[in-house]
Structures are given as C-alpha cells and as structure tokens.
Structure 1
Amino acid sequence: MSNHSPLYRKIAQQMKEEISKGEWKEGNAIPTELMLSETYQASRVTVRQAIKVLVQQGLLYKIQGSGTYVSEHKYEHNIYELTGFTEEMRALNKNIINKVLTFSVVEPEERIVQALGLEEGEKVYYIRRQRWADDIPLIVEDTYLPLELFPDLTYQIMEGSKYDFIESVKKLKIKDSYQEVIPILPTEEIQELLQAQRTDTDYKSTIIIYAKRRHGF
C-alpha cells in the first residue's frame, strides 16, 4: 500500500491481516475502539473509519448495542444436487470432522416410518452428528437409516461420509432425494453445539434446517 494512503486505510489493512492470520476469529467480537486506538496509536475517529472500510468489504459486521464482529464464511449448499456435506467441503479444501454424538438402534416415530416407507416393527439407526469444517461447527444432523438395509453400519463409518459408504461400499446408487426444509429457532442444546450466542441485547439467530430425506436406490 502506498505511503501516501490515509492512515485509516493503513489501519484497515493491518486489521485485515489480523483476520487472515486467524488472530481475530470468525464470529468473535474485535477489540473495542479504545483498545484499537491504543494499539494503532490513532484517534478513535480514525479507527472508526478503518472499521467502516472492513464492514463495507464484508469482513466485519456491527450489531447495535453489542459490538463489531468478524464475519463468518458463508457456505452454500445446492439442495438440488445429490452431494454430501463431506464431498462439498473436500471440494473447498476444508478440513472435515464428523463428531458422532448419538449412535443407536431405535423404534422410529410415525413420521420417520412414513418418510422412509418402513414396514411395521422395522427398526432404524438414529445418528446425531456435529459436523465441522476448519474447526467451525456448521451442522447438527439427525440421520435415520433402516437397520435391514444397512446391518453393517458402524460408529466409525458415520465419522466419515455416509454417501461414500452407501455408494462405494454398499454399491447402491442414490437415485434421488426428497427434502422438506423447515426453518426453526434452535434449542439451547443446538445453540451450544453450533456455538451460537444469545444475550439480552442481541440475538444472533441460527436457523436450523431439518432435511427429511428419503433416498431411492
């Protein structure tokens, strides 16, 4: 950057470097204007201008009465493509972790019986996973799989890609996917798992998308 650039732009560039180096984490509040003023040896007006630049660039966002936060990376999922989360994140060179929170065999509720076209008395695997990309929790996923169709399903398999297991190991071709997408406010448990925060002055809402899938093989 040119030595003739305004001070606020130089400070904005330094702030940008803090974000790119990971010193300022996604979703976290940045230091206060007073602290930044002391760090960069500049007036609060100048610091405020620098912050405005990064807000305009989409790197920061403000919440009235709360502070200024580092913007989180947005991931887009095409619901019309039969591509799993793991495959999508791998394509973006992301480090993927699937944490299996629940792995059990259960008698399904009626809505699951109908969604999967099960016979009376059929049991299913119920798996809840917390799915991470580059150390950021992105998804809490509930999966139901018929026990009869996947008798060899294991905890370890669900730490990887279930799509890969179905197509590469079971040699089943996923023909299509039917999804019902319902936006809801998260429970306290989901908020905690996704590290969403709620305060008296601000509610940074996280919309949980429940997708009930019935796959044709």
Structure 2
Amino acid sequence: MGSPLYRRIAQQIKDEIEEGRWKEGESIPTELHLSKQFDASRVTVRQAIKLLVEEGLLEKIQGSGTYVKEQKIEHNIFELISFTEEMRSLNKEPINKVMDFQLIEPEDQVKRMLKLKDGDQVFYVRRQRLVDEVPYVLEDTYLPVDLFPNLSYKIMTGSKYDYIEKEVGKKIKDSFQEVIPVLPEEDIARALMVDTETPILKIRSYSIFEDGTVFEYSENHFKSDEYKFTLRASRP
C-alpha cells in the first residue's frame, strides 16, 4: 500500500525546495493554489504543510503566513559558545580537522592582541570545522605557550573551550569580536570549498579570562551560505 497522499505532496514540496523553485525566506503559494497544483483537497494540502513545518522545512509566522525556512545556522554574536557547543545544541556532531599546528613567534599584530613580550611564543593552529563532512568554518587561532604549555594536536581535534575550562581550569569571561565581509584568499576558499569570488564572513576576536588575561586571538572564516549572524538591540 502506498504512502498517504499528504506525504506524497510533502515529498513533492521538498523536491521543489531542493531544486530551488521555492526559495528560502519566501512565502509559499496559497492552499487554493497548491490544492489545484496537486489535485488534492485543501485539508490534504494543510496536512502536508503541517508535516513540513514539524520537520523544520517550512515555518508559520502568526498573522503573516507560511514561509520556506532559512536553513542557515543562526549565530548569536552576543552568546559566547564554542563551535562544538553551538553544533551540538542543534543536534549536529562537529569534526575539527587540524590542518596546521606550529610553535611560532607571532607577528606584531598577534603579539599586540595577546599583550606578549618580544621572544614570547604561541601555538598557531589552523582548523577546518566540519559538520556531515561539509566545512562550515576555517579557524586560525593563536594561544600563548606560557598559558597552555601542554597544548597538543590531539587536544585541538576536540573542543578548545572544553580543554581550557575543564583541564586547564580557567574561567572564560568575554570575547571581543569584529565582523568583516571579505573575499577569501585561495587557501581559505579551498578549505571552505567555495570560489574566491564568493564573499565570506571573517571574524577577528580575542578572548579573556575572568582575571583580564588575554588568552586567545583568532580569525574565523565563516561560509556565508551556511551562517547568518544575529544580534538583539534593546532601546535604553
């Protein structure tokens, strides 16, 4: 016995979305239009839409209508959570692929951000952050050797913040971030699987412990087709 008609209609609507005929963020056709398109009652169409709302492909906005839901990850820049924590909160299991791990004497900009003295060294780590084998973020991070003498390649394949808080025993307080839209350099574009003409979002950030010590400087490159950045502004 075949699947119910409303499920078959739901699958056809999914196909329309995947093939780009229904665009993310746009309102869907009316129930009347869909009942004619699929030669089904409005009740059946309504069941199909309800199923897709439950699956997260469509969203109903009270008093406005039903829309194709944007599938970008919504990143709140006022919330200080790691990539691993963010993905797990969305029931996704991230993978951190370490592409470079070096002990270096940093350039002046990094030295200034981390408030280092001449001769101080840092760990430079480049990580590709993936979900379901798709790269979402390319991270370049610099961590002072004096603060993290036991840092290793293996540690950086996991959650950096977990290591800092649970193993090093330090409490992270704040991160200061600057967001810049850029065209990626060739090596960054290759790691994110985009071309060099595709804009990405670059975030420069430095983070501090509760005692005010700057412990990290990072440059994160986000795929703009996977991420959107949100903030909430309150009127005083």
Task: Specify if TM > 0.5.
Answer: yes
The Cα shift of 1:196 comes to 1.2
**Using the alignment, how far apart are the partners of 1:197 and 1:109 within structure 2?**
28
Among 143, 162, 167, the residue aligned to 2:165:
167
Give the structure 2 partner of residue 78 of structure 1.
76
One-letter amino acid matched to 2:178: E
CA contact (8 A) 2:121 2:144 kept: yes
Task: Give 3-state SS (helix, strand or coil) of 1:212's partner.
Answer: strand
Among 202, 209, 223, the residue aligned to 1:209:
202
> Normalising to structure 2: TM-score of the pair?
0.62
CA contact (8 A) 1:126 1:144 kept: yes
The Cα shift of 1:12 comes to 7.6
1:188-203 superposed matches below 5 A: 188-197=186-195
CA contact (8 A) 1:115 1:212 kept: no
**Using the alignment, how far apart are the partners of 1:85 and 1:145 within structure 2?**
17
Residues 2, 87 of structure 1: CA spacing in aligned structure 2 closer, same or farther, 3 A cutoff? closer
Give the structure 2 partner of residue 101 of structure 1.
99
Q: For this pair of structures, how many residues does the alignment match? A: 169
Specify every segment of 5 or more residues in structure 2 that has no aligned partner in the other structure, as ranges.
Answer: 29-56, 58-68, 211-236
User: Residue deviations 1:15-62, cap 9 Å, x none?
Assistant: 61597xxxx6xxxxx5xxxxxxxxxxxxxxxxxxx93588755x7xxx
The Cα shift of 1:80 comes to 1.6
**Using the alignment, how far apart are the partners of 1:72 and 1:197 within structure 2?**
22
The Cα shift of 1:128 comes to 0.4
Give the structure 2 partner of residue 68 of structure 1.
none
**Using the alignment, how far apart are the partners of 1:185 and 1:159 within structure 2?**
27
Specify every segment of 5 or more residues in structure 1 that has no aligned partner in the other structure, as ranges.
Answer: 25-29, 31-49, 60-70
Paired-residue identity, %: 48
**Using the alignment, how far apart are the partners of 2:22 and 2:148 within structure 1?**
54
**Using the alignment, how far apart are the partners of 2:78 and 2:147 within structure 1?**
25
User: Residue deviations 1:161-202, cap 9 Å, x none?
Assistant: 10000001100000211222222111122111111146xxxx
User: Which one scores higher on RCO, CA 8 angstroms, separation ≥ 6?
Assistant: 2
Higher strand proportion: 2
> Normalising to structure 1: TM-score of the pair?
0.67
1:21-36 superposed matches below 5 A: 30=19
Is 1:51 the counterpart of 2:49? The answer is no
Task: Give 3-state SS (helix, strand or coil) of 1:51's partner.
Answer: coil
Q: Report the RMSD for the aligned CA atoms in angstroms.
A: 3.2
Task: Give 3-state SS (helix, strand or coil) of 2:14's partner.
Answer: helix
Larger mean Cα displacement after TM superposition, 141-150 or 76-85:
76-85
User: Residue deviations 1:50-100, cap 9 Å, x none?
Assistant: 93588755x7xxxxxxxxxxx983112222222111001011110210000
